[in-house]
Chain A
Amino acid sequence: MNSSSSARSATRTVAVHATRLAVILLLGGFLGATLVRVAPGFGTDESDLDSRLSQQSMQALRQSRSSQDSLAGFYVRYLGRLLHGDLGTSRTLQQPVTQLLKDRLPETLKSVGLGLALAWTLGLTLALASVMSRSWFVDLFGSLLAGVLLCVPAAVMAILFVIAQAPARLVLGLIVFPKIFRYARNLLARTAAMPHVLTARAKGLGGTRVLLWHVLPVAAPQLLALAGVSVSVAFAAAIPVEALCDLPGIGQLAWKAALGRDLELLVNLTMVVTAVTLVANSASDLLGNSARAGAV
């Protein structure tokens, strides 16, 4: 295969991924909007019970909320605005969605980034130590830790951190860690038992060399896939953690938007979370493919 055809193939792959991403993003947004629209209580507001408001004000406010009544109409209008870079205004927080995302997304990215760093450092280190050292103690310790953390619900863990005055961002790391440890340990153990690795060991290759030359290259595509999945897991966990620990990120925003049936905000948040998940998965796919190609 010459260089121009491989470039064409790479471009085609990226284009396919980008198209798939755009279609899923639009579908995700539409499904999100549909769920909010059909949820009981859509279009209501606490001001419906405000006895200070006059009859006229109450009716006018209700009418302004019912302008979002048609789902298809809303979505078409939304997409039209989206093309001009306008994400609309949150009904419950009375602020432009762009501003809300600008304020909140960095907080969540910080939490998710820190959580993933902790989870991967801890998970991969323990998995490697368990597989390479072949020590029952390390394996038992890692398995027990992962098992316990897997059993504790995210919300409980968040509350425990608040009580202990520990940085709440670390909760995300502890939520993602068991998944990474268990998958990585099983994968590495399977790879380490492959014939070529056993041969390498039998020929007297050192542990580090076996790991770097014979185990990790084979396990890399699946580890990269796991990286993509771990981003989705961390984002999903950010919602209860941020809501309970009062971290002002998009997880907390999503919680409030869901409680307030804030269509405009929820559609945008769905799009953002879908985009982050898809980009992470696509990136891990692409990197995994390259790793696989490299390994071949």
Chain B
Amino acid sequence: MRQRLVRLGVLLLFVAVTGAAFAQSGSQLRFCLHSEPKTLNPVLMADESSETVRYLTGGVLMRLNRLTQQLEPELATSWKVSEEGKTISFKLRAGVHFSDGTAFSADDVAYTMQQLMDPALHSPTGDSFRSAEGKVITKVEAKDRVTVIFPAPVVGLDKLFDQVAIMSASSPKKEMAVLGPYYVAENKAGSYLLLKRNPNYWKHDAAGVQLPYINSVRLDIQQNRDVEMLRLVRGEIDFINAVDPEYFDKLAAQAPGTVTEAGVSLDSEQMWFNQVASSPLPAYKKAWFTSTNFRRAISNSINREDLARVVFRGHAQPAVSWVSPANKVWFNAKLQPHAFDQKAALQMLANDGFRLQNGVLRDREGHAVEFSIITNAGNKYRERMATMIQQDLAGIGIRLNVVTLDFPSLIERITRTFDYEASLLGLVNNDLDPNSQMNVWLSSAEQHQWNPEQKTPATTWEAEIDKLMRAQASTLDQKKRKQAVDRVQEIVWQQEPFIYLVNKNAMSAVSKNLRNAHPVVLRPQVYWNIDQLSLGSEVAQNR
């Protein structure tokens, strides 16, 4: 009898222990955010962490499938964009409810658009829809039909709705009532966010099981990337969305089969020279930086292959222009990365009166060519790139000084004081449509970083870019748009206001316990199909 009791006790203990382990691994997906979300209001979200929360909790009218790069119906069963591109009409899904039980209707779409386009809120998502001054009108035609009318054509209008999380017009929980797969159940400031499965989520799988499969998602706020990698190896988190080359190689060695390289990403690393006329630089340096020959010579003197091979350990490609080769539709395939050719570089410099004397490059007036490049401190890949560029430029007699600054100081210099000579930074690109970069290419724009907010274009090629970018933004004819964007890429390739260096590869690490994960190039690389993901144990439960 006593022996039986002991055995029963041991068995119960075993069941309890394995059950606890099962529940822990099977019910919760865990991954890291690198900073605290600045807001949980989907209209105001701009930082990466907030956008992660929006992606996991927000219900959208249509979603861009990150794998096929095609739009798929979500809360809208169908939609139609008018021929002139100013109007979009939606037919909405019936019987959908927010996480708090409030019914979803066309009024919610109207309310969301009104919030999104409120000029006082300065929503980055809302601003993407602004192609001209004027009011956006939303017409609720029936409970399940709504039309949004913009004052001017908006290119890629339907795709922009991928970022618009619909908010409830009537829920007392306001923006915390959501239509996405999860809702925010707990927010421990600075520590973690706990998202729980939305009990009213409308999607079901082919077998009729309500999605998502995973009960909850815990987003741990973890700034330290080393610790994040350590936690993945220990099995404390289930994936890392974007892995650095160094960690990628370490993980590939430590835990083979967990890392995935999806190919070249949309992100680029580039340097540029300060061409602002009012900047506090000496006139002779301004003359260097505004010379096309000078910029092209610098570009030709940089060995991009080496940057990709040494700095990014082969997990990057030499960049061509402002559209990444990952963007199959818009990339100008006729262009090739600038070759590493220091002889050609010296020839171009000679055309501008530069000459090499005792290993030092001097301009026409005898000034030794020396300049500094600023980049953000703490980004080891940029620091290493700057060092390699320094060595490359020494080959043509140019002395480059590398200056690392913390991000606020760097922003101040490149956007306000213009007290810098050259800068090395990256561009994080989430959008396939080149129209999203209008604020970079228009000479009047603030993000036209080499010479922002010009009253009239300073050069003829900038005037041509302005004309082409405006032309592509005002037509829905895909062929005409492609021609214009191709030409802008050519001009940028020739003039090199930005010297594009490399496009990094999109790399992720996924635990073997996570099922149905297919990391892709577009953000969010791993959890783009969050409602389809399951953890090892849950697959067994659901099948």
User: A53 to B408, Cβ gap below 8 A?
Assistant: no
Q: Does B407 contact A (CB under 8 A)?
A: yes
The interface bits of chain A over 243-255 (1 if a CB of B lies within 8 angstroms of the residue's CB, else 0) are: 1101011001100
User: B127 to A41, Cβ gap below 8 A?
Assistant: no
User: A244 to B189, Cβ gap below 8 A?
Assistant: no
Q: Does A54 contact B (CB under 8 A)?
A: yes
User: B127 to A93, Cβ gap below 8 A?
Assistant: no
Q: Does B39 contact A (CB under 8 A)?
A: yes
User: B127 to A44, Cβ gap below 8 A?
Assistant: no
User: B127 to A54, Cβ gap below 8 A?
Assistant: yes
- Least CB distance, B513 to chain A, in whole angstroms: 20
- Least CB distance, B304 to chain A, in whole angstroms: 24
User: B190 to A94, Cβ gap below 8 A?
Assistant: no
CA–CA, A6 and B17, complex, Å: 65
**Nearest chain-B residue to A58 (Cβ)?**
B446
Within 8 A of B (CB), among A75-117: 92-95, 99-100, 103-104, 107
User: A243 to B223, Cβ gap below 8 A?
Assistant: yes
Known contacts A51-B447, A53-B122, A248 near B188 by CB under 8 Å: yes
- Across-interface contacts of A43 in B (CB, < 8 A): 412
- Least CB distance, B218 to chain A, in whole angstroms: 14
- Least CB distance, A236 to chain B, in whole angstroms: 19
The interface bits of chain B over 382-410 (1 if a CB of A lies within 8 angstroms of the residue's CB, else 0) are: 00000000000000000000000111111
Q: Does A55 contact B (CB under 8 A)?
A: yes
Q: Does A56 contact B (CB under 8 A)?
A: yes
Q: Does B135 contact A (CB under 8 A)?
A: no
- Across-interface contacts of B190 in A (CB, < 8 A): 103-104, 107, 248-249, 252-253
User: B189 to A52, Cβ gap below 8 A?
Assistant: no
Q: Does B191 contact A (CB under 8 A)?
A: yes
CA–CA, A99 and B190, complex, Å: 12
Q: Does A16 contact B (CB under 8 A)?
A: no
Which residue of A50, A55, A56, A100 contacts B124 across the interface (Cβ within 8 Å)?
Answer: A50
Q: Does A47 contact B (CB under 8 A)?
A: yes
- Across-interface contacts of B78 in A (CB, < 8 A): none
- Least CB distance, B465 to chain A, in whole angstroms: 15
Which of A94, A249, A259 has its CB near the most chain B CB atoms (within 10 A)?
A: A94
- Across-interface contacts of A259 in B (CB, < 8 A): 406-408
- Least CB distance, B187 to chain A, in whole angstroms: 10
- Across-interface contacts of A51 in B (CB, < 8 A): 436-440, 447
- Least CB distance, A130 to chain B, in whole angstroms: 37
**Nearest chain-B residue to A61 (Cβ)?**
B122
Known contacts A52-B439, A243-B223, A246-B221, A41 near B407 by CB under 8 Å: yes
Which residue of B39, B122, B125, B406 contacts A60 across the interface (Cβ within 8 Å)?
Answer: B122
CA–CA, A194 and B227, complex, Å: 52
**Nearest chain-B residue to A40 (Cβ)?**
B409
- Least CB distance, A199 to chain B, in whole angstroms: 57
Q: Does A57 contact B (CB under 8 A)?
A: yes
User: B223 to A248, Cβ gap below 8 A?
Assistant: no
Which of B125, B234, B412 has its CB near the most chain A CB atoms (within 10 A)?
A: B412
- Across-interface contacts of A49 in B (CB, < 8 A): 411, 415, 447
User: B124 to A53, Cβ gap below 8 A?
Assistant: yes
- Across-interface contacts of A244 in B (CB, < 8 A): 224
Within 8 A of B (CB), among A135-192: 159, 162-163, 165
User: B38 to A93, Cβ gap below 8 A?
Assistant: yes
Which of B125, B189, B230, B416 has its CB near the most chain A CB atoms (within 10 A)?
A: B189
Q: Does A74 contact B (CB under 8 A)?
A: no
CA–CA, A261 and B412, complex, Å: 12
Within 8 A of B (CB), among A242-272: 243-244, 246, 248-249, 252-253, 256, 259-261
User: B221 to A46, Cβ gap below 8 A?
Assistant: no
User: B221 to A41, Cβ gap below 8 A?
Assistant: no
Q: Does B46 contact A (CB under 8 A)?
A: yes
Known contacts A93-B38, A248-B188, A41 near B224 by CB under 8 Å: no
- Across-interface contacts of B224 in A (CB, < 8 A): 162, 244, 246
CA–CA, A68 and B122, complex, Å: 19
Q: Does B516 contact A (CB under 8 A)?
A: no
User: B415 to A56, Cβ gap below 8 A?
Assistant: no
- Across-interface contacts of B119 in A (CB, < 8 A): 56-57
Q: Does B515 contact A (CB under 8 A)?
A: no
CA–CA, A55 and B438, complex, Å: 11
Which of A49, A93, A95, A159 has its CB near the most chain B CB atoms (within 10 A)?
A: A49
User: A52 to B407, Cβ gap below 8 A?
Assistant: no
Within 8 A of A (CB), among B209-224: 220-224
User: A41 to B439, Cβ gap below 8 A?
Assistant: no
CA–CA, A103 and B234, complex, Å: 29
- Least CB distance, A131 to chain B, in whole angstroms: 41
Q: Does B36 contact A (CB under 8 A)?
A: yes
Known contacts A61-B122, A162-B230, A52 near B128 by CB under 8 Å: yes
CA–CA, A248 and B411, complex, Å: 27
User: A163 to B440, Cβ gap below 8 A?
Assistant: no
CA–CA, A94 and B221, complex, Å: 17
Known contacts A58-B446, A259-B407, A50 near B223 by CB under 8 Å: no
CA–CA, A162 and B220, complex, Å: 15
**Nearest chain-A residue to B226 (Cβ)?**
A159
CA–CA, A103 and B190, complex, Å: 9
- Across-interface contacts of A40 in B (CB, < 8 A): 405, 408-409, 412
Q: What are 29 sample pairs from A and B whose C-beta atoms fall under 8 A apart?
A: A40-B405, A40-B408, A41-B407, A41-B409, A41-B412, A49-B447, A51-B436, A51-B438, A52-B125, A52-B127, A53-B124, A53-B127, A53-B439, A54-B130, A92-B38, A94-B38, A100-B189, A103-B189, A162-B224, A165-B234, A243-B223, A246-B220, A246-B222, A248-B189, A248-B190, A252-B190, A259-B406, A259-B407, A260-B408
